[in-house]
Amino acid sequence: MNVVPALVIAGLGAACATLLVVLWRQRFATPHVGFREVFEAMQEAALVVAPDGTVLEANAAAVRLLGEDDLDRVRGEALLRLAPQLETARRAAQRSREPRHLGGDYEGFSASISHITGAKARRSASVIVVHDERSVRVRERGLLSAAHTDPLTRAANRAGFATALEDALGRRDGSATGVVYVDLDDFKPVNDEHGHAIGDAVLKQVVERLRHGMRDGDLVGRMGGDEFALLLREVTPAGLAAVTKRVREAIAAPMTFDDLTVRIGASVGVSSAPRDGTTVDALLAAADERMYREKRGKPGRDGAAPHAADTVQDAEPRAADAAP
């Protein structure tokens, strides 16, 4: 009996289905990967069930899902005993001869059930593919988190920071949302002289120091290279000023790695909504420009230094300050 059509109906993609058809037809003629290997490689639990409800085949994922530890404890058993709800749904699908989807109310699972008929309609069976919606959601959250996280420092990356800032702006209820943009001073010489391992350790230490004292809901992001940003929700001008002062002092403090002591500094620029705009791009651009203005005004660099208060004094007030 060829079970491939049911697996296709149950949700496998066309390319994978084609591979399964080839493997099934050649299962006795090729020394290469066969249908059983592909069946076992499926992440979803898959079962083939006879018309009388007897389990004919199950992959390892299905064995685990059914709470057993051996295929022999599943094969030949009644599905009604192993999973009554699945058997009820299978019988309905068998009567209708139509594919059926059992929704996510099945204790965090969903199932695709298809009835198939073998060659010359002499044999038939049902193929059930069970999707663990809980593990899918966990994987999706993990992928989303990875896509928004800097792998070195575990801070938010630029995309993650922008997403969080956009969310904060969307939730703003008249209070100010602040951005503190930080560019490290004298980091390149440290990296060049002591190597990338020390450079990476410095970047990790910077994130730890930036996180210290932050409130729940605030966020540290690595924007790229040696540039970082802080998202401050519901912040006052005084709160922004306190945070920028703390950032400069925290980064300027010596960092020690074994017998090596490293000293760097930071150039800082801030912006706030609604004063400097109400979009992600507007706030990042304003904070970035003020940060570079400060950097250009430092000894050995061209330009005039800004007054730190220029970036915060007109920010909108809110109910509580950022933690100093």
Q: What is the pLDDT along the chain (324 residues), one digit of tens a residue?
A: 333 333 333 333 333 433 433 444 444 444 444 556 777 777 788 888 888 999 988 888 888 888 888 888 899 999 888 888 788 888 887 777 665 555 444 456 777 887 776 554 456 788 888 877 666 666 656 666 778 899 999 999 999 999 899 988 988 777 899 999 999 999 999 999 999 999 999 999 999 999 987 888 899 999 999 999 999 998 999 999 999 999 999 999 999 999 999 999 999 999 999 999 999 999 999 999 999 999 998 876 543 334 333 444 444 333 334 444
Core vs surface per residue 289-301: b (16+ CB within 10 A) or e: bbbbbbbeeeeee
Q: What's residue 307's pLDDT?
A: 38
CA dihedral 264, 295, 211, 227 (to 10 degrees): -90
Q: What's residue 318's pLDDT?
A: 37
Would you call the peptide bond into 254 cis, given omega within 30 degrees of 0 as the criterion? no
DSSP labels for 131-171?
Answer: EEHHHHHHHHHHHHHHHTB-TTT-SB-HHHHHHHHHHHHHH
Handedness of CA 314, 206, 164, 173 (dihedral sign): negative
Which among 157, 152, 158 has a CA at the least distance from the CA of 196? 152
User: Are 4-138 and 148-311 in the same CATH fold?
Assistant: no
Instruction: Write the DSSP symbol of residue 55.
Output: E
Of the CATH numbers 3.40.50.10490, 3.30.1300.10, 3.30.70.270, 3.40.50.300, which one belongs to the domain with range 148-311?
3.30.70.270
CATH code reported for the domain at 4-138: 3.30.450.20
Q: What's residue 133's pLDDT?
A: 67
Q: What's residue 81's pLDDT?
A: 84
Domain ranges of the chain: 4-138, 148-311
Q: What's residue 172's pLDDT?
A: 75
